[in-house]
Structure 1
């Protein structure tokens, strides 16, 4: 399935997964990841990324292709298999909110992989978009990290916490800035994302944009600040 993110989606953001895939590494596992899998470079702006890598998805492992029947509802959601997800739910409706070993729900998997059709289907069925995983990952954080603005907007319409933070203080806005996902940044700011929240490493969205050299993001943030402080015209 083809995921629909914004124009700045990072390289390697595909929607393939297999039976061994996992939406994120555990904290201990992530402490040993190589630099290319870390959230930012040597500057240490964040410790690790919420964005999923091919290695984290299990795509580097050569195994026999899994049949759809052998995949869990989480994996089917990540692959965009709406009909298969629906079939699982028709047999067991409790799967809608089932969390895997890391606390990820099918909705979170779909959001992480940019599967808008699955996200919409699960939300229509009553999936809770406010669920938080073990390390405080949320569907909104995962979608923002991947640059999937259509999913971000859909989740925001369902009343999720726009300023939710994960275990290292990363908010959806901070992850959108980090990934240079301009449309996601604009969508989050338009709905009131807090620009003053800093990550645990001390970076605000503006400071992070400057540190990473994301000039277009800086301009979006600056324009938003000017709009916030622009005097309201006095009625005549």
Structure 2
């Protein structure tokens, strides 16, 4: 998907809260249908050196991660459901967690389980992006392929990591997905989890062998990002992981 923001826009944008509900891919009231995730660190606000998980900094980055996530991902609450769920696509139903209607769609056949939308997002990718764990679990049991990558190499794992959905990350890792998938926006699941200050998600990814040396396009490793952003808990998790790796690799000296 092409970003709608100019290339020189280096900030992680935050859309104003509105009570409207946007379907996946629907254009927002301001004309934007994307959110921008940066992997280049920026200076935290004074007196708030460790933001809450999922918060974003108001300043800059040289990297944009364009997705189709809409009002719900931006933190807006759903005030009204569409007049009829029958008009929603399988991707929209997956994103909203409308499990009963999703099941009805799949029972119709037509090989919909791994059907991509115009951006290459499958129902599983949408459900993972919105944190719909029961929908993710159902889709996996039904036969959804967790290894599929969207057009810009976005994966269900990378989008679940972006949102800090640790339980979903765990479900996907059980399916042996590539934990170090590097997308065209310049990030891996671990880099996105660190950038979002998602401590538990970082722990889960490291425990399964996520690569700590991979750099974002901005040149920052996961530890670089954590330090630059002042995410002390994430730093501690990474440091503890490095220490465990070091200790496990120690070989006792041969007795003379």
Q: 8 Å contact 1:21–1:56 — kept in the other structure? A: no
User: Following superposition of structure 1 onto structure 2, how do residues 103-122 of structure 1 map, counting pairs within 5 Å?
Assistant: 103-122=120-139
Q: 1:49, CA displacement in angstroms?
A: 5.5
- Counting helix residues as a fraction of each chain, which structure ranks higher? 1
Please point out which of 96, 104, 109 is paired with 2:113: 96
Q: Which residue of 2 aligns with 1:126?
A: 143
Paired residue total: 214
User: 1:162 and 1:79, CA in 2 relative to 1: closer, same or farther beyond 3 A?
Assistant: same
User: 1:161 and 1:209, CA in 2 relative to 1: closer, same or farther beyond 3 A?
Assistant: same
Please point out which of 178, 181, 187 is paired with 2:198: 181
Q: 8 Å contact 1:46–1:168 — kept in the other structure? A: yes
User: Following superposition of structure 1 onto structure 2, how do residues 177-216 of structure 1 map, counting pairs within 5 Å?
Assistant: 177-216=194-233
- Select the structure of larger CA radius of gyration: 2
Structure 2: distance between partners of 1:63 and 1:107: 24
- Residue by residue over 1:200-224, the C-alpha shift from the partner in whole angstroms, topping out at 9 and shown as x without a partner, is 1111100011111111001101111
Please report the TM-score for the alignment, with normalisation by the length of structure 1.
0.79
Q: 8 Å contact 1:45–1:208 — kept in the other structure? A: no
- Secondary structure of the equivalent of 2:113? helix
Question: Unpaired segments of 5 or more residues in structure 2?
Answer: 1-13, 39-57
- Residue by residue over 1:108-138, the C-alpha shift from the partner in whole angstroms, topping out at 9 and shown as x without a partner, is 0000000011101010011000000011100
Q: 1:91, CA displacement in angstroms?
A: 0.3
User: Following superposition of structure 1 onto structure 2, how do residues 1-236 of structure 1 map, counting pairs within 5 Å?
Assistant: 20-22=23-25, 37-40=35-38, 41-44=58-61, 46-48=63-65, 52-54=69-71, 65-230=82-247, 231-232=249-250, 234=252
Structure 1: distance between partners of 2:27 and 2:234: 26
Question: Unpaired segments of 5 or more residues in structure 1?
Answer: 1-10
| Aligned-pair Cα RMSD in Å | 3.2
Please report the TM-score for the alignment, with normalisation by the length of structure 2.
0.74
